Every structure is written in structure tokens, then in C-alpha cells.
Amino acid sequence: MKLSQLGERKIIKIFEREFDKRRCKNAVVGIGDDACVIKFGNKYLAVSTDAIYQKTHIPREMTPRQIGKFAVNVNLSDIAAMGAAPLGMVFSFGMPSNLDENFVAELSKGINKACREHKTCVFGGDTKEHGEIVIAGTAFGNVENKILTRSAAKAGDLICVTGSIGSAAAGFYCLTKNLDVKASGRLIKAALEPKARVREGILLGRYANACIDISDGLAFSLHEIAKASRVGFLVYEEKIPVDKNVKKVAELSGIPLREIAFHKGGDYELLFTISSRKFKRMKEEIGSDVAVIGEIKKRGKKILNISGETEELESRGYEAFVTKFLNLKSADIEAWKKRQCCGSLSRIRR
């Protein structure tokens, strides 16, 4: 069967079947979570690897600096979802030989800036020639408190998310559908410059039970926690934190808001579950927007919709090989070069 028929999750099942886990004596958390966790000496090391490819992950509106920041943030988001503090990263770069050295310099500046924002660094890496730009990152984190897996949610836990949902997908629609939305700059920034919830992840290590990064979509992530923790959930649609401009994008584009908020993905926010008695203390300390969107139940994967009816929530989300994220146009090196590698967000808005 071709991989396009199989889909990412089933491909991962092949790896799980073939790799002999018994030799991974130091692995505390292995395949199937946001990151692996390895016991090393007297400490726990979280490790996550994620690659971005020019044609499938880098919208042509992204500047080289934004690409650099993006590569850092997608990896650190997985480290944050484990409740770990970033230690550093390594990168394996693939680059076309006709690329200009300015591109490399701008990309590096973006990587360095994002590392600085998250108080981390690049330890080293590898550079090779390749037909298109590939940035394969591996991030390391130090788990100082609890390891936040997907499998530790308990019936009765509150379900929470950081930040606001659907902004990245809405931002992409602003770019690809030329929508006239007032705050499109902010939405486009959410799409092109996502920021991992690193600080929040570290703090959640002291309070949360289960945690996951929702970049593959909110619905998919809820189902992942339910499956791994062998529990159910009830989510209140009206409690989902959605920017009013995202609602405007839904109206103008004709794409249902439920679709944008639950199934499109692209938001590098954290979904977590927490005992209700710890919620208040966490909320006081976190200093960021956190919304309670539902409750972990013994069974059922339900949503209480805006009309007050309970229905099943589909687990559908972003899946590599089977779906394409918003049919983005492929990145265009020529366009970057014309913009001299570093157009600001306002200059590239169309």
C-alpha cells in the first residue's frame, strides 16, 4: 500500500512494530508522545525531533528569518509539552547549492533570535546540499518536575488551553484568500511566527497532569489525550478562546468556525488537564491566557455545541501524507531573493 493511502499514524505503527524497544533501557517515554524522555545519570532528558521542508511546510510568505524562528519554535513546542526546560538544539540543514549566502545568514539570525527568546542555544549541526530547503531540528530539554505525558489525564480534570485557537489557520486564509479583515496582520503573524509556550510548559510541569501540543489540531489532540489516558472528555464549544477576527475570517471565507478552531491545526499552543484544586494556583502563576474548555470524563468524546446540544467530536486533524495543510503554495526562492531575504510582515501582505 502506498504511504498516501496509509497516512502518518499507520506509518508510525510500522516503526513501532519493527524497532525493538527492549533495548531502549533508558527511555522513560518512547514513541507516541510529543517527545521522548531518557533517564541520563541523575536527570531526565526530553528529546524531540521535527523537520520542516520548503515545499510542504514553508509558505512562500515566510522570510528567511521567520523560517529560522519557525524551525526553533516547532521543536521547542514539543519540549514544552513535556514540561521540560530547553537545554539546546542541533540542526541538520539541507540547502540548494544555488541559494545565496544571505539566506543562510538571515536564517541563522532567525534561529538565534528565537533561541534567545526562549533562553536556549544551538549546540551544533550539519549542513548538506539538497534540492530544496530542509531544516531537521532536534531539541533537548531538562525535565525538572513532572514529565507531562499524554497518558496522565484523570476523570474530573479540567481541560485547558493556552492562548487563542484558530488564529494560525485564519492567518493562512487571510494570505491565501486575500480576505479583508481588520486585524489580519496579527493573524498572519500567528501563522508565520508561532511562538512555543516554553515558559508555560515549564510551569505546567508543577501543576498539570497530561499535556500535548495542539499543532495537529485541537480535536485530534483531545482524542490523543483520551486514547493515551483511557478516558473521555466533554468540551464546551462556547468556551474555546477564539479571536473575534477569526470569526470574521470564518464568515468571509465560508469555512465553518468549528473547522478552523478544531480541525485545521497550526496553533503552537498547549492543551493540558489539571486537577481543579490546582487550577487557581496555576492560573495565578502562569501570567498568560489560559482557558478552561471542558472536563475529562470516564468515557465519551463529546462536544457541547453552541446550540446546547451534545455531539461526538470527530478526531480529524492534520495528518501528513493524507491531508495537506490548507493547500499552501510552495515556497518560492526567487520571490525571497527579490525581497532581498528579509521583507517585513507588512511589506509582504498582499
Residue (56 or 145) nearer to its own copies, CB: 56
Applying the rule CB under 8 A, the residues between 58 and 97 that interact with its own copies are 87-88, 90-92, 94-97
The enclosing H or E element of 5 equals helix 3-6
**Among residues 60, 117, 125, 332, the one that binds its own copies under rule CB under 8 A:** 125
Judged on CB neighbours under 10 Å (0-12, 13-18, 19+), 209 is: buried
Applying the rule CB under 8 A, the residues between 2 and 21 that interact with its own copies are 2-4, 6, 8, 10-12, 14-15, 17-21
Q: Which amino acid is at 114?
A: A
Minimum distance from residue 228 beta carbon to its own copies (Å): 14
Residue (14 or 335) nearer to its own copies, CB: 14
Applying the rule CB under 8 A, the residues between 191 and 250 that interact with its own copies are none
Judged on CB neighbours under 10 Å (0-12, 13-18, 19+), 105 is: middle
Q: Which residues contact 315 (CB under 8 A, 6 or more apart)?
A: 219, 220, 222, 223, 301
**Among residues 130, 146, 297, 302, the one that binds its own copies under rule CB under 8 A:** 130
**Among residues 60, 105, 332, 339, the one that binds its own copies under rule CB under 8 A:** 105
Work out the angle between the directed axes of helices 244-253 and 167-177 (0-180°, nearest 10). 40
Tell me the number of residues near its own copies by CB under 8 A: 83
CA gyration radius for the chain?
20
Under rule CB under 8 A, residue 117 binds its own copies: no
Applying the rule CB under 8 A, the residues between 25 and 54 that interact with its own copies are 26-27, 30-33, 35-36, 38, 40-43, 45, 47-51, 53
Cell numbers given for 139: 531539541
Residue 256, phi then psi, degrees to nearest 5: -55, 140
Q: Which amino acid is at 74?
A: V
Cell numbers given for 232: 473521555
Residue (27 or 292) nearer to its own copies, CB: 27
Under rule CB under 8 A, residue 145 binds its own copies: no
Residue (59 or 241) nearer to its own copies, CB: 59
The enclosing H or E element of 190 equals helix 184-192
**Number of residues that make up the chain:** 350
Residue (111 or 250) nearer to its own copies, CB: 111
For 61, the 3-state DSSP assignment is: coil
Contact present, 156 and 295 (Cβ < 8 Å): yes
Minimum distance from residue 213 beta carbon to its own copies (Å): 12
Nearest-angstrom CA–CA distance, 81 and 211: 6
**Among residues 60, 117, 122, 292, the one that binds its own copies under rule CB under 8 A:** 122
Residue (148 or 170) nearer to its own copies, CB: 148
* Candidate segments 134-142, 146-154, 157-165, 241-249, binder of its own copies by CB under 8 A: 134-142
Cell numbers given for 26: 533508558
**Among residues 63, 73, 77, 120, the one that binds its own copies under rule CB under 8 A:** 120
Q: Which residues contact 171 (CB under 8 A, 6 or more apart)?
A: 184, 186, 187, 188, 189, 190, 191, 192
Q: CA 144 from chain center: how many Å? A: 22
Residue (76 or 290) nearer to its own copies, CB: 76
Choose among 52, 53, 93: nearest CA to 73.
Answer: 52
Minimum distance from residue 132 beta carbon to its own copies (Å): 7
Under rule CB under 8 A, residue 108 binds its own copies: yes
**Among residues 58, 84, 136, 271, the one that binds its own copies under rule CB under 8 A:** 136
Applying the rule CB under 8 A, the residues between 305 and 324 that interact with its own copies are 320-321
Nearest-angstrom CA–CA distance, 344 and 262: 30
Minimum distance from residue 43 beta carbon to its own copies (Å): 4
Under rule CB under 8 A, residue 335 binds its own copies: no
